Structure 1
Amino acid sequence: MCVIHHTLKDDLTAQKPRACALHITRGNPPGHPIPDGDTSSPIRETACRCWPHARAPVSTPAVAFPPRAPEPAAKQFVMAARWPRSLLMALSCLLWLGPAHAEALPAASSRAHTADVGVPLLRNFSPMDYGAGPQNWAVVQDKHGLIYVANGDDGVLEFDGDHWRRIAVPNRSTVRSLALDADGRVYVGCVGELGYLAPDDRGRMRYVSLLDRIEPRYRGFADVWRTFAARDGIYFATSRTIFRFNENHVAVWKAQTSFHLTFLVRNRLYVRETNRGLMELSAGKLKMVDGGERFAREKIYAMLPWGETTADGGGPMLIGTRTQGWFIFDGHRFKPWKTEADATIKRDQIYDAQWLANGRLAVATLQGGVILLDRQGHETGRLRRADGLINDTVFAMYQDRESGLWLALDNGLARVDMASALSYFSPNSGLDGSVLSIGRYRGALYAGTTKGLFRLQHGKDGNAYFSRVPGIRDQVWDLLDMDRSLLIGTSMGMFEFADGSARLRLADKTVYSLLRSSQDPSRVFLGLSDGVETMRLVHGHWLDEGRIPGISGEVRSLAEDAAGRIWISLSNDGTVRLTLPDDWKTDGGGAARVEHFDTPHATSMKTGDALVYNIAGAIRFATARGIYRFDDRSQRLVVDPGFAHLFAQGARQPSLLSEDNRGRIWMYTSDDSDTIKQTGAAIPDPGGSYRWDPRPLRAFSGMGVSAIHADKDGVMWFGANDGLYRYDPHAPVRYSKPLPALLDKVTDHAGHLLWGGAGQATPATLPWADNSLRIEYSSPNFDSSMANRFQVMLEGMDTQWSAWSKETYRDYTNLHEGDYRFRVRSRDAYGNLSKEATYAFRVLPPWYRTWWAYFAVLVLLGAIIWLGFQMRSVTLRRRNLALARLVAARTRELSASHRALQRANAALIDLNITDALTGLRNRRYVLDHIEQDVAAAQRGYGKLARSGIEDAQQHIDLLFLMIDIDHFKEINDRHGHTAGDRVLTQMRDILQAATREMDTPVRWGGEEFLVIARFASSEFGTAIAERVRSMVAQHAFDLGNGQIIHRTCSIGFALYPLLADVPQRFNWEDVINIADQCLYAAKRNGRNCWVGVQSRHKAVTADIAAGLPVNLDALVAEGYLQLLVSPAPYRLP
């Protein structure tokens, strides 16, 4: 017997070559084993007994111990003294180890643990989220990207990234297993049922039973625990029977005892039969594999490929058992495969295992969540309830196309983003409060939060965790590595952390920022809530040098340029440049030079400050309008040209600038309204400019970030309110193209299903009464699914794509008849566009706009006409003789009717040219008849061409008199439109009384009237204008109800032809226009007056006349017209 003092965690207990039985005691009497999970007693010794000729390994598990507190110095000395003897004992014991019986773990020094990796990003789905029973047993993803889940209570669940749907199975049977074949069909194994999913004629996914294809004598089975889609058919495995469906043939294999679990490895089926062992289905028969008897009473929960596939399609396999650990089976022998988690897996009870795309092995357990192992057996992490998982009981796992790991849980579901470069430290990891600062000291990562300082440590289970640094429980604003110690700026002062303890070096001051001087590395600048202070390290002690005069206000950031000048950001008070002389100190020596600079666009900034950073070897300022630099020539802050076009969507406020080892500048950005919150990297281009790339951190787009830190190896850290995020730039970038956008459901206005989204959609035809519908759509991109956006367009109505939106449905109401084609496309978190999904449909017209309705109307009209014609013909024939005798009388009656019709037509024509209110002629009358009067005037001038023009004017001119009632609008406003109508009718009476029978009063429009006087002259015009003016002025207008008002009018007149020498130059419309201008001249002259014009007989040629304007002022000014103004010198004869 060899005895090893087991003072460190090792794996000798897990290595059992040649049946090496190891007995571990923790202060218990020798010979008494420790109960599983008991870690309370100190370790005393490990006894190793080796039997070289034993065949079966003893199943005593390895025990994993938690980290131990540091031992007292004396105890450490004693333990160190024991090490040589312990090492010799271990080596002597290892001489018995043989390579044929165990695959040992590599040495600890060769492990590739990444101690500071957090928990992968995960999303939990509770039963309330998906609306079904708590237990889930299997997950698959179809060719469209949809996720299907085997639910314990509510059949199969379908998830498209936005909507959950339930697919019922007969008798609400529990669904235990799912499988996807090469054609994309999902097969379902239930309790007492089996079948597949297929769309019905309306596009709804339905369960189709295959039970009727099984002979009745084999139908009495219970749970279908496993379903596989293999090359030779679909397998359904129960505890008593295995079924294989291949086209129309069903093969059946019965268990001699009972089957436990079935596995499909490299397209070969294996099953463990209770009390018999591990069997393989080969050549249509179940045969025991070599050495498979060893599992007669040992349950197997995992069988996976191991290594390369051989030429015959076989190859080694990894087998996971409940109590004996792991084995590698090469087809002939079983070699143990030891892992660091063997004891944990045995304790937490393995239930499933799967190789992940990143090469890790995920092990699902019933009590401890998921354990992650690498191919060397090292534990690289865990996913448990303590790490954010909704439940620790994992029944099954499935990795989707985006490498997300779906976990079917006892109470819910979860999806873990295993391929993401991001990992996460939540409050469950030991962090308390919102992260404000991040830094490293002596290789360890420290996070300062609103509630203290925390150090990242590597856990015994592969998951890193944070532990609190004692003595600091205040807000930690900044961290500074001083090589010998870590300086900590807090709301209570500055602490120094060294040798495991923190000491307060500056009390009762809020320290927001820390900066170590490159000119004097012993000096540290402290940005306070009310200025800047310096401290120096002198002979191991900190000397407070006091405040720098001339600087006040809250200091949020400090930076030093290449010349040693200190740049200081003051909250809401611009920027300060501080220059210290070589002999500077606060109590003597040269004076510090303090220069203040205003922040650009300070009035429009959220805070008015410019945060200062030393980035890419230069000082840069983060403002609300972008990134600026200092221009030495103009002595002011100007836009940095390298960042001028960083944000294409408008100005943003960058902050927390941090440069990584590849020159990328990481920062947090937001707009003025905080609507856009985005963290990303400014990538340098060869030309010296930068381009913005937010894709690596899309997972927390929209989240506020309060701290950024860059490790020397390029790993980035981001502090937020809900924890700490780690980004590994060395991880493979997978900005994959998104899965196609999917149409989920189309319903009419009443919610009736038109198409369920599954299968091939046929164009729908909607009646006019159902011309409103809702179309739901989705995108099964599960990485950062909250960032999925959609664009839609309805061809037949829209002319362009809609704006991007997160809405997953679109309503259309009251669509006009026609053919439509709905199109939708999605954009994932990385900006990739999907393929379009389309849905065509037609809206029928209402019955009265259908072709048959039009045809029916035509037929009906034709029938009526034909019937009328026939009836008329019969009547005419019957009355032919009577009509012959009465022809004369009928002729007279027809003549009378004709004359009456002519009168009626004349009345209609007269009505069309008559104003309905006043009975006067209207504007249409003038348009229809004025040409006759114009022609008469022109003929008169032709006949009197040889006589004097003056004589002609006295007899044949055509006078246009425009009359407007002054202040008529007041009548309508004060007394109403009825009163206004009464005034207009009385105005008609005045005009009819004032004019001759041959004159035509016309209501021109509104309160305007036109009088057309034939065979008139200018003298006649002045006389009739004065008569109308005086009659209106003297008239008392009766508004009804005893109301009497007085009103005046304004009058303008002109004669046609306007110029006697060139009568054709101005047509009658021009003359009316001149008369209207005279009217408005009368208005301007004070109203209650008239203004007219007459020709001055100024000689004018046709060429000159062609250039004359239709403008009163111009014609009067040039002497062609004479202005006549009331009162008129003549009276009417």
Structure 2
Amino acid sequence: MPKQFLIGFLTLLILLLCQATAALDPTKRFDQYVIDTWSIEQGLPQITVSAILQDRDHYLWVATQAGLARFDGVQFRTYSADNTPAIRGNFIQDLLLDRQGQLWIATYKGLTRKSGETFFAVDIANAEKSAQININALSEGQSGEIWVAANEGIYVVKEHKLHLVQSTDQPNHDILTFENKVYVGTVGKLWLYEGSSLNEIELPDYYQQATINESIYYQDKIWLGTNKGLLILDPKTQKIVEFKTQSKLFHYPVDALGADSEGNLWVGTISGFYRIHGMQVTDFTTEKQNQDFKQVQAIFEDHEGNLWLGSYTDGIARVWSGRTLRFSADAGLQDPLVWSVAPSLSGDAVWVGTNRGLALLQDGKFSTWATPNQLPHPTVYTLLPENNQLWIGTRKGLTRLVNGEINTPAHNEIFSSLQINSIFRDQQKQLWVGTSDGLYQYSEQEVTKIPTNSQQNILVRPVTQLRDGRIWVGTQKGLFEVSNERLSPIGLENGLNDTLDVTAILELYNGDIIIATLSQGLFIKHNGLWHQLTERDGLPVNESFTLVKDQNEVLWVSGFKGLYQVPIEQLIEYLEKRRTSFSAYMLLSESGGIIGSQKSFCCNGAGNAKGFFKEGLLWYPSRDGVVLLDTRQIQLNPIPPQLKIERFFFDGTWHSISQDRVQLQQDQRDIAIDFTALSFRDPKSVQFQYRLIGYQDGWKMLDSKSQRRVNYTNLPPGNYTFAVKASNNAGVWNSEPAEFQFSIKPYYYESLWFYIVCIIIAGMLVSLWHKLRLRALKEKKIELEEKIKQHTAQLEVSNQKLQEAVSALKEASHTDQLSGLRNRRYLNSQLPSDLSHFEREFERLKTTGPMIFMLADIDHFKQINDQYGHNAGDNIIKVFSDEIRKNIREGDYAVRWGGEEFLVVFRPMPSAKSCELVERIRHAIECQSFAIDEKTSIKVTCSIGFSAYPFFEQEAHALTWEQTVELADHALYFVKQNGRNGWACFQPTEKTQVNSTIISQIKENLGQLVANEQIQIKTSIPS
């Protein structure tokens, strides 16, 4: 079986164009590698694996005792005699991939060939079709012929049939072709078949009864694995010698041989697993050391440099170098729970603070320097190495190591109940101690606690000094600075807050500052502002403990969820919006569930001494010892996964994809497509994007990476292209997607011609409907026009009646019901517009004369009411109103002012005419007989006062019209005081003061105004 290892490996190298991969590091011990296993719980058909290889599509093929399994890193698919008749037996004993990419399968009942997606049984020439042989091993010759080692003899495949080359008296367990020679291993001898002759190569005496069951070409030699130990054949001399070693491998049964691309020869035995490099055993792991995977009997290296092992009892395992070296209990560490690490100032050693004491790691081994009972508390939580001494912070107190002895410092009682999270020496040689109860300044003479501005107690974690000398402190309540012997919060005004649990502080070369937090991501001070970065921006996790910068300006961030790296330059460009994302890659995670991460215990603690970088190496504490990463050796997987669309489901059956386009019938609308991506470094981190062009052109992420299947239901007819692409565990995507095309036939009612016919018919129906509709609309239009005419006529009549009613209503609202004259409402609505017009004309012409406001009052009206009754009074008011109407001009209007008082507003007239007009009205009233009833009539007189508007010709707005009416009322009062039945009017003189006080002066001192010639009275009353 293993002799095909070299051939398969070389073939893969050619196919990959010699693309470099990260193979197993030959300097690492096997127990430092990362091992993942798969067995029947994950779908492997059976636990015993006899052979493993990889085909050109990068599938792994696993030979078991219950059939052949194809593995894509996530799912196993089993081919056996039950579902693949060409495989005649389920005990698969060897596998071979030839130069044409065909897979050959050796079973205990015969040989099977897989070409493309089809399996073919290989019959024995010149024998019954049902004849069987028990095949143990396969090998491909120099000319491409397939050689077979079977219990019944040596065979070669020609024209797809097995031809017997040589029958042997012993079962043949192994076969290897080299140059033009064929080596066949059996019991007690090695056959050499060359040309047409078969010769025996003698084994050393001790191996005369040994069974050769494995062989491989390695370092110009052919290595033979037997049940009594390891032999080496020189193909030039055809001499066999023992592999001399002081290890347990000497004279120990060998079950498997395999070589990798780093020049290692791997040897599997029942007692353990060996590595040979440079003809020396360089590593050995026993079955006890590796309880999860034992009895290796198959070895293979894939295209990514992973080493695959097949076990007799435990299925398969993938082995790769991993990214770490771990130093724990096996290196002498008394307690694997480590809280702090710090570089020793002398040599390459590392101080290690554990859960139970202090240790020094040097040359891969731990030595104890302080036991739990020597310390204030067993747990060493932080460290500060200095010349000639090592400061030690524990969970309950502070101490130090001086010249190899624990030396209790002064003032230790102050710290005896405090957890020491950080110890820091600044540029001024001042020692700072961060504790669970705040920050302290320490010297041999005194210890000073640095208070906060609010005097609150805060837990301090990291303490550091910036290049400008400032001391910054991370706490559970934000970021602080030591200023004026106090802790003052900083950053609150430009992006930070007092809820941050700050775990680390790092100043960059350009003055920017990064702080880590326990659960809120990173904060970066850039251009004076703090910017928060979280998982939403692209960080793998928000939790972080330490910040370390390496020589390449890469930021390493550790926390209890693991460790990730991100280029600092990318972070700055992201903040400046010069890029939309940054490459943050998770290298280690506790769960192993974060994409791309290696499952590994890392990292512990927050504060100082929780990780450091030195000479390209990163050191971290963990709950399983000290973790070391060589940043110079970390290589992310550069190989994109090989894509494969495997099969197509429709019509209730899965179908292989063997044609360019699959044609589906009308009723085959529900489909499923299986696909995969072959990347074995970390299959759980493979991500997929897919789309169905013609239905859903945009790329979608596959929700479940392990399902690797998409389903579509009730697809419409059409032509479709399914495309899928994938990325490996390092986020490297395929340059081109894998594609698969299919079509779905339409029903007749979904076809183009059907739609065309429907459109034509629909067009004809629409045209007919349109014509009928136009006819109906025309008839309807005529009908509507007639109705409109009728309704219009009715509406005109209704509008005319409404206008008449409105006019009547308006007239009624403006008319006094008893007298028939206008009322005050009319006056208030009409007079303002009349006055506005008059004032404009008066200002323009000055020749039209004033308006006259006249008040007339029926003399002795109360006596008439008392003597003759109210009906008589009403009759008198009616007749009085009629007389006024008769004696005023058109355009003048009379208003019943109230009771027996009437106001007449005369439009502009010359002043001389006003007296004549007023006298005419008085005279008409005096001459009129007023009927009390049908038999009785009486005479009635009236008193009249009137005034011109404007009162002052030179100042039209000195008095309002209301004040003008008031002047007329005073004139009326003057008439009543002087005998009634007359009229009077007050007029200004040249001596009259032009202002509104004239009204009050007339009321209070009329006689004096007349005597002073300030008022002139015109009246019909004799003097």
- Which of 274, 285, 289 aligns to 1:386? It is 289
- Which of 695, 708, 714 aligns to 1:814? It is 714
1:1066-1105 paired onto structure 2 within 5 Å: none
- Which of 786, 795, 800 aligns to 1:1019? It is 800
Other-structure match for 1:529: 436
**1:638 CA drift (Å):** 3.1
Give the match's secondary structure for 1:210: strand
Q: 1:217 to 1:443 in 2, by over 3 A?
A: same
**Could you tell me whether the CA contact under 8 Å between 1:452 and 1:475 is conserved in 2?**
yes
CA distance in 2, matches of 1:118, 1:465: 17
Other-structure match for 1:279: 191
Q: Note the alpha carbon deviations across 1:984-1040, whole angstroms, 9 max, x for none.
A: xxxxxxxxxxxxxx33xxxxxxxxxxx8957768426768999xxxxxxxxxxxxxx
TM-score by length of structure 2 reads 0.61
- Which of 274, 278, 282 aligns to 1:371? It is 274
**Could you tell me whether the CA contact under 8 Å between 1:740 and 1:836 is conserved in 2?**
no
Other-structure match for 1:894: none
1:1005-1044 paired onto structure 2 within 5 Å: 1018-1019=799-800
**1:424 CA drift (Å):** 5.7
Q: Judge which range, 781-790 or 441-450, deviates more.
A: 441-450
CA distance in 1, matches of 2:675, 2:314: 24
- Which of 87, 111, 124 aligns to 1:194? It is 111
**Could you tell me whether the CA contact under 8 Å between 1:158 and 1:164 is conserved in 2?**
yes
Q: 1:325 to 1:141 in 2, by over 3 A?
A: closer
Q: 1:324 to 1:393 in 2, by over 3 A?
A: closer
Query: Structure 1 residue 556 and structure 2 residue 461: aligned?
Result: yes
Other-structure match for 1:659: 549
Other-structure match for 1:796: 694
Q: Note the alpha carbon deviations across 1:20-49, whole angstroms, 9 max, x for none.
A: xxxxxxxxxxxxxxxxxxxxxxxxxxxxxx
Other-structure match for 1:247: 159
CA distance in 2, matches of 1:337, 1:415: 30
Q: Kindly, what percent of the aligned residue pairs are identical?
A: 17
**1:616 CA drift (Å):** 4.5
**Could you tell me whether the CA contact under 8 Å between 2:229 and 2:254 is conserved in 1?**
no
Other-structure match for 1:754: 654
**1:128 CA drift (Å):** 0.9
**Could you tell me whether the CA contact under 8 Å between 2:434 and 2:460 is conserved in 1?**
yes
Other-structure match for 1:416: 318
Q: 1:236 to 1:604 in 2, by over 3 A?
A: farther
**Could you tell me whether the CA contact under 8 Å between 1:157 and 1:165 is conserved in 2?**
yes
Q: 1:206 to 1:115 in 2, by over 3 A?
A: closer
Other-structure match for 1:354: 258
CA distance in 2, matches of 1:146, 1:547: 65
**Could you tell me whether the CA contact under 8 Å between 2:64 and 2:91 is conserved in 1?**
yes
Query: Structure 1 residue 628 and structure 2 residue 521: aligned?
Result: no
CA distance in 1, matches of 2:795, 2:381: 100
Q: 1:491 to 1:268 in 2, by over 3 A?
A: farther
| Letter matched to residue 504 of structure 2 | L
Q: 1:741 to 1:365 in 2, by over 3 A?
A: same
Q: Note the alpha carbon deviations across 1:364-412, whole angstroms, 9 max, x for none.
A: 22221x222322515246485635x632110111100001111111233
CA distance in 1, matches of 2:114, 2:370: 56
- Which of 127, 130, 134 aligns to 1:222? It is 134
CA distance in 1, matches of 2:80, 2:276: 37
Other-structure match for 2:420: 511
Q: Note the alpha carbon deviations across 1:1099-1132, whole angstroms, 9 max, x for none.
A: xxxxxxxxxxxxxxxxxxxxxxxxxxxxxxxxxx
Other-structure match for 1:147: 60
Give the match's secondary structure for 1:1019: helix
User: What is the aligned residue count?
Assistant: 733
**1:726 CA drift (Å):** 3.8
Q: 1:322 to 1:469 in 2, by over 3 A?
A: farther
| Letter matched to residue 643 of structure 2 | A
CA distance in 1, matches of 2:58, 2:438: 58
**Could you tell me whether the CA contact under 8 Å between 2:151 and 2:170 is conserved in 1?**
no
Q: Note the alpha carbon deviations across 1:571-614, whole angstroms, 9 max, x for none.
A: 123322368xxxxxxxxxxxx46443245676779735473235
| Letter matched to residue 832 of structure 1 | V
Q: Note the alpha carbon deviations across 1:923-975, whole angstroms, 9 max, x for none.
A: x99877667889xxxxxxxxxxxxxxxxxxxxxxx6xxxxxxxxxxxxxxxxx
CA distance in 1, matches of 2:806, 2:240: 127
Other-structure match for 2:743: 842
Q: 1:927 to 1:174 in 2, by over 3 A?
A: farther
**Could you tell me whether the CA contact under 8 Å between 1:241 and 1:252 is conserved in 2?**
yes
**1:139 CA drift (Å):** 0.6
Other-structure match for 1:979: none
Give the match's secondary structure for 1:799: strand
CA RMSD of superposed structures (Å): 5.0
**Could you tell me whether the CA contact under 8 Å between 2:33 and 2:322 is conserved in 1?**
yes
1:817-828 paired onto structure 2 within 5 Å: 817-828=717-728
**1:351 CA drift (Å):** 1.6
Query: Structure 1 residue 829 and structure 2 residue 729: aligned?
Result: yes
**1:767 CA drift (Å):** 3.3
**Could you tell me whether the CA contact under 8 Å between 2:670 and 2:715 is conserved in 1?**
yes
CA distance in 2, matches of 1:468, 1:763: 73
**Could you tell me whether the CA contact under 8 Å between 1:404 and 1:415 is conserved in 2?**
no
**1:830 CA drift (Å):** 1.8
**Could you tell me whether the CA contact under 8 Å between 1:490 and 1:511 is conserved in 2?**
yes
**Could you tell me whether the CA contact under 8 Å between 1:625 and 1:652 is conserved in 2?**
yes
1:877-892 paired onto structure 2 within 5 Å: none
Q: 1:297 to 1:396 in 2, by over 3 A?
A: same
**Could you tell me whether the CA contact under 8 Å between 2:231 and 2:242 is conserved in 1?**
yes
CA distance in 2, matches of 1:302, 1:1025: 122
Give the match's secondary structure for 2:587: helix
1:431-830 paired onto structure 2 within 5 Å: 436-441=339-344, 443-445=348-350, 448=353, 470-471=371-372, 476-482=380-386, 484=388, 486-494=390-398, 496=400, 507-520=416-429, 524-534=431-441, 545=447, 547-550=449-452, 552-562=457-467, 564-577=469-482, 592=485, 594-599=487-492, 607=500, 609=502, 611-616=504-509, 620-622=513-515, 624=520, 626-629=522-525, 638-639=529-530, 655-668=545-558, 679-682=564-567, 693-695=583-585, 697=587, 701=594, 706-707=603-604, 709-718=611-620, 725-731=627-633, 733=635, 735-748=637-650, 752-756=652-656, 760-803=658-701, 805-807=703-705, 808-830=708-730
Q: Judge which range, 345-354 or 176-185, deviates more.
A: 345-354
Q: Note the alpha carbon deviations across 1:320-347, whole angstroms, 9 max, x for none.
A: 55545554625227586867x6423248
CA distance in 2, matches of 1:491, 1:776: 56
**Could you tell me whether the CA contact under 8 Å between 2:147 and 2:157 is conserved in 1?**
yes
CA distance in 2, matches of 1:496, 1:783: 45
**1:525 CA drift (Å):** 2.9
CA distance in 2, matches of 1:241, 1:448: 65
Give the match's secondary structure for 2:477: coil
**1:145 CA drift (Å):** 0.8
| Letter matched to residue 465 of structure 2 | E
Give the match's secondary structure for 1:515: strand
Give the match's secondary structure for 1:747: strand
Give the match's secondary structure for 1:794: strand
CA distance in 1, matches of 2:336, 2:805: 98
Give the match's secondary structure for 1:345: coil
Give the match's secondary structure for 1:706: coil
Unaligned runs of 5+ in 1: 1-111, 200-204, 308-314, 580-591, 632-636, 859-904, 914-923, 935-957, 959-997, 1000-1010, 1027-1133
Other-structure match for 1:1070: none
Q: Note the alpha carbon deviations across 1:56-110, whole angstroms, 9 max, x for none.
A: xxxxxxxxxxxxxxxxxxxxxxxxxxxxxxxxxxxxxxxxxxxxxxxxxxxxxxx
**Could you tell me whether the CA contact under 8 Å between 2:207 and 2:228 is conserved in 1?**
no
Give the match's secondary structure for 1:259: coil
**1:710 CA drift (Å):** 4.2
CA distance in 1, matches of 2:140, 2:622: 44
CA distance in 2, matches of 1:784, 1:810: 22
Give the match's secondary structure for 1:224: strand
CA distance in 1, matches of 2:218, 2:446: 64
| Letter matched to residue 150 of structure 1 | A
**1:132 CA drift (Å):** 1.6
Give the match's secondary structure for 1:344: coil
| Letter matched to residue 231 of structure 1 | S
Other-structure match for 2:145: 233
| Letter matched to residue 472 of structure 2 | W
